[in-house]
Structure 1
Amino acid sequence: MNGFPEEELRSALHALADRPAVPVAVPSPQAAVREAARIRRRRGAAGAGLVVAVAGLALLVPQWAPGGGSRMPAPPAATAGPPSGQPAATEPAVRTDPALGVPYAHDLYVHCGIRYTKFAGRWWRADPEVPEEALDGAVRQDPYTAGTMVLVSAGEARFVRHAPDLTVTFRPMEAEPVPCA
């Protein structure tokens, strides 16, 4: 038998059979119920912690996102305040430039047609401008249209929206534009 002497195998099996049985602890039904309740409490606490973390990130992420958040307000009216060359108090002093060729979620303001947008902390001019009348009715229902903005080069950014298809090229501006009327 596989090179083992039969007598050694028999004695090993008898030794195992003669050993006293080790008691196995079987949990009571009450202990099982308590353990299940403890696991549910831990899962609930972990879920609540996850909800709080996601809510906290939802408040912080728009400040870091290119374009200053998910929605760009209408271009502000020219009023007293800091000169256009200096950042306003609510804008971050450090501008984070987007990576070339990477699409970033961007809401484009289309109330007066497509003329300007603010992306990556600076103003951009549509080249060519798209008048409001040229926009699809579905686009004009909301003053914003969602899509993606891609930095093509240091002097060119491209907005793309699908359904209905819309592609607009933008060039950087030196100063803040005059708001539409």
Structure 2
Amino acid sequence: MNGYPEEELRRALRALADRPPVPLAAPTPQAAVRAAARIRGRRRAAAAGLVAAAAVLAVLAPQWSSDDGSRMPAPPAATAGPPSELPAATEPAVQADPEPGVPYAHDLYVHCGIRYAKFAGRWWHAEPEVPEEALDPALRVNPYTAGTMVLVSAVEARFVRSAPDLVVTFRPLAVEPPPCR
């Protein structure tokens, strides 16, 4: 019985019985049930709020920017392979006007599949789009995957990543794309 020895419970009940009654109005059973339900509801709401906050933080954390407007570096778990496989990151000013044929370190957003990329100060559309379900499971671990982006021509950019192999061609967009759903 609740882990208490039976004799100890009997002594506690006798002590309560020997006390003079306290003139308090006992709550009705319905009021006690409603109060308990309110407490459970508040606990559930608080737990749901914490889960929602954690989900928002997980989505937005990689997108936070530093003071100079560039994206903060991804955590070590988001980078694949040894640093020697990827070229060194270039300054944001250089990426705003990249040279054709030069690979630039780039973190591609793959959370909703591969649809759009922002590179060289403009938005690009993947051709063909790669739905999230078609991505290798190793790419779905993080919302970003590290690789290189090469400006092939004024109307074509190519993202390349090894282990797992991934090559995606992008075409420029005239307007900013809608957010993923």
Task: State the TM-score, normalizing by the size of structure 1.
Answer: 0.50
Q: Higher relative contact order at CA 8 Å, sep ≥6: structure 1 or structure 2?
A: 1
Task: State the TM-score, normalizing by the size of structure 2.
Answer: 0.50
Give the greater-gyration-radius structure (CA): 1
